Structure 1
Amino acid sequence: MSGDRVCVGAIAGAYGVRGEVRLKSFCADATAIAGYAPLWLEDGSRSFAVTLGRAIPNGITALLGGVTSKEQADALRGVQLFADRDKLPNLPDDEFYHADLIGLSVFDTGGAELGQVRAVLNHGAGDLLEVFGSGLKTTLLLPFTRAVVPTVDLTARRIIADPPEGLIE
C-alpha cells in the first residue's frame, strides 16, 4: 500500500438484508468519513461511494456503492477502508495520522535506539505507541503524550521518547 492513502475505517459486517454495512469510522468526527469518499480497499483494487445511515452502537450504518445484498456486505466484514491522503484535512503541528507514525524509529533521549513503532493503539484512555525492537525483551507500550514523546520528526522518520522509569526492563 502506498503512502498516498490512509486507513479511515473498517467494515464490521452486514446490517440488515439490503446491503447496508456496519461501518466503524476511525475519524475524529465519525461522520466525516463519507466526505473522504471514494473509499478504497487496501490494495486499491476496488473503491466505494459511501452514503451514511444512522448511528448505531460502535459505528454507523452505511450503503457502499455496488454492495446490494446481505451476502455482499458480509463478505466485506473486517475489510479496512482507505481514503486518498489529499482529501484528508491538514493537521496542526502537534497532531499526526497513525499511518505516519507506524514504522518510525524510536530513540531514547540519550540517543539509544529502542525500536520501531509497529502500531498505534487506543483503548479509550489515550494513544499508545507499540514499539518493537531487537534490544527489548517484550513489546514496549509508550503513552503517546508530550511528556513521554517530546519529539516526532516525520521528515527524519524518528521519534525521541523519554519513557517513565521502570517501563523498560
Structure 2
Amino acid sequence: MSERDSGSSGRAKAASRAKASGQVSFGTFVRKPVERTDGKAREAQANVANAGSEAAEMRIETAASWPADAVEVGAIVDAYGLKGWVKVAAHADAGRGGEALLSAKRWWLMKGQERRSAPALQAKTHSDSVVARLGGVADRDVALALRGSRVYVSRSEFPALEADEFYWVDLIGLDVVNLTGLNLGKVASMIDNGAQSVLRIAYPATDKNGKPVVGERLIPFVGVFVKTVDQAARQIVVDWEADY
C-alpha cells in the first residue's frame, strides 16, 4: 500500500484518426481541405486567432469563480530565465506528487487577496523544483511580480493513481477505526518522516484537570498497520489499539 500527496505521472496522448470526410484529425485541430480567401473566411480566421489568444492569457478570478476542488500544491518563488518562466517550490517532489503541477492544464494563483488563473503552457522539473511557462507571462518582470503566489490545481486534474495509492488530500478528514470498531479519531494531517508517511490522528480527550483537549495519535501508513482505506465510506481501518 502506498500514498501520494499531490500527484503521479500519467498524461493522455491525443491519437490521430482518419475522418469519414477525408480530413485528418491532429488532436483538437483539423487540417482544412482547401484554403478560402473570401472576406468571411478571413474574419473567421481572425476570430479563431483572438479566441486562442484570450484562452492563453491570465485571468482575474474571484472566490465565486475559484474551483471548489482547488488544492494548494506549491508556491512561485522566483522567475526562471528571461522569457517569463516561473520557478515553483512544490509541496511534494516530482517523484511523490509534483506531477500534479506538470500535468494540470490550468494553474490557479493566489497572492494575498488577489486571485488569478493561467493556462500552464509548459512545465518541467528542474533540480528540486518545477519550472513553467504560463499564459500571459511574457517576460521576466511579469514572472517576478508573481513571486509569493500560492499555486493551486483542481483536484479533478490530478493524474490517476494505482489502486493501492492515495493522495494525502484524500486521506485528511477520514475517520480511523481499529479492528474492533473503536473510533480512534480523524486524520488531521500527514507527516513524512523520510522513511514513510504517517497518519496524524486527532481525537477528543481531557487533560489532568478534566478540561477538554485535542489528543494526537501517530500511525505509520504501512500495510502492517493500515488494513483498508474506504474513501466512499470515509473510513480507514487500522490494526492499532487506543492505548498504544
Contact persistence 1:34–1:52 (CA under 8 A): yes
**Distance (Å, rounded) in 1 between the aligned partners of 2:198 and 2:239:** 14
Partner of 1:52: 123
> How much has 1:71 moved relative to structure 2?
4.1
> Equivalent pairs: percent with the same residue?
28
Counterpart in the other structure of 2:153:
82
Structure 1 residues 145 and 53: CA distance shift in structure 2, 3 A? closer
Q: Per-residue deviation at 1:148?
A: 1.0
Structure 1 residues without counterparts, runs of 5 or longer: none
Aligned counterpart, 1:148: 225
Change (3 A) 1:3 1:150: farther
Distance 1:128 1:113, change over 3 A: same
Structure of greater Rg: 2
Count of paired positions: 161
Post-superposition CA distance 1:106-139 (Å, at most 9, x none): 1122211111111122242121111111138642
Q: Deviations over 1:61-81 (max 9, x none)?
A: 2233334535422231xx142
Q: CA RMSD in A?
A: 3.1
Q: Conserved in 1, the CA contact under 8 Å of 2:70 and 2:155?
A: yes
CA deviations on 1:2-33 (whole Å, 9 max, x unpaired) are 764444x3015113575543223435474563
Q: CA–CA distance in 2 between the matches of 1:118 and 1:29?
A: 19
Opposite residue 99 of structure 1, the aligned amino acid is V
Aligned AA (1:146): G
Change in 2 beyond 3 A, CA 1:30/1:84: closer
User: Cα distance 1:137–1:37, how it changes in 2: closer, same or farther (>3 A)?
Assistant: same
Q: Partners in 2 of 1:109 and 1:148 — Cα distance? A: 10
TM-score, normalisation: structure 2: 0.55
SS at match of 1:124: coil
Cα displacement (A) at 1:103: 0.5
